[in-house]
Amino acid sequence: MPLVQVLADGLVVGAMIALGAVGLTLVYAILRFANFAHGELIAWGGYFALSLLTLATGWLGLEAGGIGGLSIGWALLAALAGAMVLTAALGIGLDALLFRSLRRRGGAITLIIASFGAALALRNLIAFLYGPTPTYYSRAIPMALPLLPEEVAAVTGQIRMTPDQLFILGLTAVLVVALHLFLSRSTLGRAMRATAENPDLARLFGIDTRVVIRWTWAIGGMLAAVAGVCFGLTAQVRPQMGFDLLLPLFAAAILGGIGSFHGAVAGGLILGVAESIGVHLIGAEYRQAVAFVVLIAVLIARPAGLFGERD
């Protein structure tokens, strides 16, 4: 396989990791704990979309087939939108039921073990409700298209990507730009950054941190749902999908500097490419080990990450 193809595949995986890592890092920035349940938001996003897809094609009679060369049709797009709302609600609900009362008692570390327990419960709830077997949104086999003109491909090797993969890259780019504008321009986005910087001072300036916290979960949940649907599109929908993504998410967030939005995006893309190269060299079964190696290397060499501030 030409190197350019390995890199391109890595970017698609990296885009999904980035979407997850952004949510993880936002929760860390605002609530200051490593949320081991974030992977499950991704998995639930994927399964919400699966259920809504059945509803949309069955009840609303939306076309299940793809638009253009995509295997994504209007039905799946509608399901994705619905899944984003539901996953955001799941994040907010989890916070209201569990994390909020633990926050009041103090101790970020209790929050970590609670999130670990919540992750197991959420993951097994999927296995209970949907069964353990993996499924797909669509049985269509996507056609991979050559992207580079012949003259270039003769030198570098050809890149082939399915329309779905291109869609994932485009959607991620749009979401990242939108979130960047939101965090830098809007009042709420600025309030989020202020709360991340110094919650007490933010409250003193009249920022309602409860609203900020709700929106943090909402944004994290929506991005997680997109990541989950993208994962389902390129691989499969399975109860373990969130758990399998969790280590890459943490590695990406720490690589970028935990708490940093831009860092999480960059970290996600770098990690995706690193995984792709690692899989090419040592085989797919050790994919997650790449994330662990990156994680330990960052912790030894530059614990603050690429974009993080030093403690």
Partner 1 sequence: MADLLGIGAYLVFFLVVALNYAVACLGLNLQWGYTGLFNVGVAGFFAVGAYTTAILAGPDYPGQFGGFGLPFPLAWAGAMAMTGLVALVVAVPTLRLRHDYLAIATFGIAVVIQLVAQNAQWLTGGAFGLNLPRPLFDAVGDPVLWNLLYLALSVLVVAVLYVGLETLAQSPWGRVLRAIREDEAAARSLGKSAALFRIQAFVLGSMIMGLAGAMYASFVGFISAQDFLPILTFQVWTMLIVGGSGNNRGAILGAIVVWALWTLSGRVMGLLLPAEMQARGAALQIVLIGVVLALLLVFRPGGILGERRQVSRHL
The residue ranges that bind partner 1 (CB under 8 A) are 28, 33-34, 36, 98, 101-102, 105, 108-110, 112-114, 116-118, 120-121, 124-125, 127-128, 131-132, 243, 246-247, 250-251, 254, 258, 285-286, 288-289, 291-292, 295-296, 299-300, 303, 311
The secondary structure element, H or E, covering residue 209 is helix 209-234
Q: Between 180 and 287, whose beta carbon lies closer to partner 1?
A: 287
Q: Between 80 and 290, whose beta carbon lies closer to partner 1?
A: 290
The secondary structure element, H or E, covering residue 108 is helix 108-130
Q: Between 232 and 239, whose beta carbon lies closer to partner 1?
A: 239
CB of 34 to partner 1, least distance (A): 4
98 DSSP assignment: I
End-to-end CA distance of the chain: 42
CB of 276 to partner 1, least distance (A): 17
Q: Between 33 and 47, whose beta carbon lies closer to partner 1?
A: 33
CB of 41 to partner 1, least distance (A): 15
Per DSSP bridges, beta strands 145-146 and 160-161 are: antiparallel
Q: Between 167 and 243, whose beta carbon lies closer to partner 1?
A: 243
CB of 209 to partner 1, least distance (A): 21
How far apart CA 155 and CA 102 sit, in angstroms, is 58
The secondary structure element, H or E, covering residue 242 is helix 241-256
Q: How many CB atoms lie within 10 A of CB 208?
A: 12
CB of 108 to partner 1, least distance (A): 7
Complete DSSP assignment for 238-302: -TTHHHHHHHHHHHHHHHH-TT-HHHHHHHHHHHHHHHHHHHHHH-GGGHHHHHHHHHHHHHHH-
Q: Between 233 and 253, whose beta carbon lies closer to partner 1?
A: 253
Q: Between 127 and 188, whose beta carbon lies closer to partner 1?
A: 127
CB of 251 to partner 1, least distance (A): 8
Complete DSSP assignment for 36-69: TTHHHHHHHHHHHHHHHHHHHHHTS----SPSTT
How far apart CA 149 and CA 133 sit, in angstroms, is 41
- Tokens encoding 144: 């991979």
CB of 118 to partner 1, least distance (A): 6
